[in-house]
Amino acid sequence: MNTQDSAKRHLWLHFTRMSAYNDTDVPVIVRGEGPYVYDDRGRRYLDGLSGLFVSQLGHGRTELAEAAHRQAGELAYFPLWSYAHPNAVELAERLAALAPGDLNRVFFTTSGSEAVESAFKLARAYFKLVGQPERYKVISRDIAYHGTSMGALSITGLAGIKPPFEPLVPGSVRVPNTNFYRAPEHGDSLERFGRWAADEIERAILREGPETVAAVYLEPVQNSGGCFPPPPGYFQRVREICDRHGVLLVSDEVICAFGRLGHYFGAERYGYRPDIITFAKGLTSGYSPLGGMLVDDRLMEPFNEGTATFLHGITFAGHPVSTAVALANLEVFEKEKILENVRANEAGFRATLERLNDLPIVGDVRGDGYFYGIELVKDKATKLTFDDDESERLLRGFLSPALFDAGLVCRADDRGDPVVQLAPPLICGQEHFEEIERILRSVLTEAWTRL
């Protein structure tokens, strides 16, 4: 069988309607170089989503490949179950030094879902250990994505992806997100809107009973729904609320950490102190899978006494090859001043994307750093969105394939209101932003004529 036939017969693509490929080819990406990838027909695409918010340094970095090669030859595998290996130790120390506050303890995983799942289990186990066993509930925001394992899916706020798997883990509660473009209250003041959205968390805590709530899970910039940055003061207010009620604040930085927002951590960019940071994706720029959570010393303390044990582990977590790659990745971040590149160019990225505001279909351009969402609307003046049928035709039927055909990998997502998501590799500069804008302009203009 050729690759297409084999892919269609044997490969199960994630979050994908497989029937969509009955009559069209599965795109097969074969190699990458810098911010570009190439398919099996030799066509080039600008990787405007860094794969899946992963490829911070871009593709084809031989120093990362060599770090993996060297480590596999030295010690390919050993578990972190009661053993350590030098890379895990060094990386944990490095991450603790980069993280804000007293987040000095690292529990490695292989993925973002496992990181969120681990933070969920740690919150429950911690409160049991310190004599507050009734604290088990978790709070997160509408439309926020936190992963697919049963715990992480329970925390996820995308109602549409949950029904096939219900009943989920009980005690998961939703609060509003920070979509200012569609603010249900205080649409005239970002500050007041932010205060309201934070206070909604307190109202949820009080409604549920503060003594039953374990943790709040928030991304620095919420991805799903199309990049909602936090209003000024939002996280500071959430921190106050969490402190008042003894609730843990988990910053889910699976996307936002490692330069996406021009800092190692989103919490640093927005000046707040979480109790746990979950991370994955960009830590290795995708050259090997790795995730984890950074935990405040205070949460680890009860596990440092007597027979106490965090009864949780993952075979491949903190894999020697992945941790070697992560160390090499962070070395390149320093050497090539990757964070500085994002900070120097983010205003240019924003300004370039904002040029698209002259198109009738573009309702809102929002984001921070190298992380943007463009919300599409049917009527700019009223912010009228598309109905399900139009969304289906526009996003799935036209936009996604047309953008790809035009040479841009990005994401047309309708899990909230319809948005195009962009998160290019952190090595990109103005020439790449121009290319993104040019392709989006032409495809979005065509989309408007098809409505």
Ligand X SMILES: Cc1ncc(COP(=O)(O)O)c(C=O)c1O
Among 67, 106, 249, 255, binds ligand X (CB under 6 A): 255
Among 57, 68, 116, 119, binds ligand X (CB under 6 A): 116
Among 46, 197, 254, 408, binds ligand X (CB under 6 A): 254
Residue 137's SS3 state is strand
By beta-carbon proximity to ligand X, the closer residue of 202 and 252 is 252
Q: How far is the CB of 212 from ligand X (least distance, A)?
A: 24
**With binding defined as CB under 6 A, does residue 252 bind ligand X?**
yes
Query: What is the pattern of x (binds ligand X, CB under 6 A) and - over residues 5-24?
Result: --------------------
Q: How far is the CB of 288 from ligand X (least distance, A)?
A: 13
**With binding defined as CB under 6 A, does residue 280 bind ligand X?**
yes
By beta-carbon proximity to ligand X, the closer residue of 277 and 332 is 277
The count of residues interacting with ligand X (CB under 6 A) is 13
By beta-carbon proximity to ligand X, the closer residue of 52 and 130 is 52
d(CA 324, CA 373): 33
d(CA 255, CA 307): 35
d(CA 341, CA 84): 35
User: Other CB atoms closer than 10 Å to residue 66's CB: what's the count?
Assistant: 13
Straight-line distance from the first to the last Cα atom of the chain, in angstroms, rounded to the nearest whole number = 39
Kindly indicate which of the ranges 251-259, 312-320, 346-354, 417-425 contains the residues binding ligand X, using the contact rule CB under 6 A: 251-259
Q: How far is the CB of 79 from ligand X (least distance, A)?
A: 20
Kindly indicate which of the ranges 142-150, 166-174, 392-400, 406-414 contains the residues binding ligand X, using the contact rule CB under 6 A: 142-150
Q: How far is the CB of 144 from ligand X (least distance, A)?
A: 7
Among 58, 112, 373, 425, binds ligand X (CB under 6 A): 112
Q: Binders of ligand X among 219-238, rule CB under 6 A?
A: 219, 223
d(CA 255, CA 220): 9
Cis status, amide bond into 167, omega within 30 of 0: yes
Which CA distances in Å does 234 have to 199, 202, 213, 230, 447? Answer: 9, 12, 20, 6, 36
Residue number closest to ligand X, CB atom: 112
Instruction: List beta partners, residue 228.
Output: 222
- Residues in the chain, overall count: 451
User: Other CB atoms closer than 10 Å to residue 388's CB: what's the count?
Assistant: 8
Which residues have a Cβ under 8 Å from the Cβ of 278 and sit 6 or more positions away?
112, 115, 116, 118, 119, 250, 251, 252, 253, 254, 291, 292, 293
Kindly indicate which of the ranges 141-149, 159-167, 243-251, 443-451 contains the residues binding ligand X, using the contact rule CB under 6 A: 141-149
Token pair for 418? 């319809």
Query: What is the pattern of x (binds ligand X, CB under 6 A) and - over residues 374-403?
Result: ------------------------------
d(CA 92, CA 69): 21
Q: How far is the CB of 262 from ligand X (least distance, A)?
A: 18
Residue 419: phi and psi, rounded to 5, are -140, 155
Among 50, 56, 71, 113, binds ligand X (CB under 6 A): 113
Query: What is the pattern of x (binds ligand X, CB under 6 A) and - over residues 69-88?
Result: --------------------
Residue 422's SS3 state is strand
Q: How far is the CB of 252 from ligand X (least distance, A)?
A: 4
Among 55, 87, 111, 251, binds ligand X (CB under 6 A): 111
Among 36, 145, 265, 386, binds ligand X (CB under 6 A): 145
d(CA 333, CA 341): 10
Pairing relationship of beta strands 44-47 and 103-109 according to DSSP bridges: unpaired
Q: Binders of ligand X among 146-165, rule CB under 6 A?
A: 146-147
Instruction: Report which DSSP code applies to 132.
Output: -
Note the residues at the interface with ligand X (CB under 6 A).
Answer: 111-113, 116, 145-147, 219, 223, 252, 254-255, 280
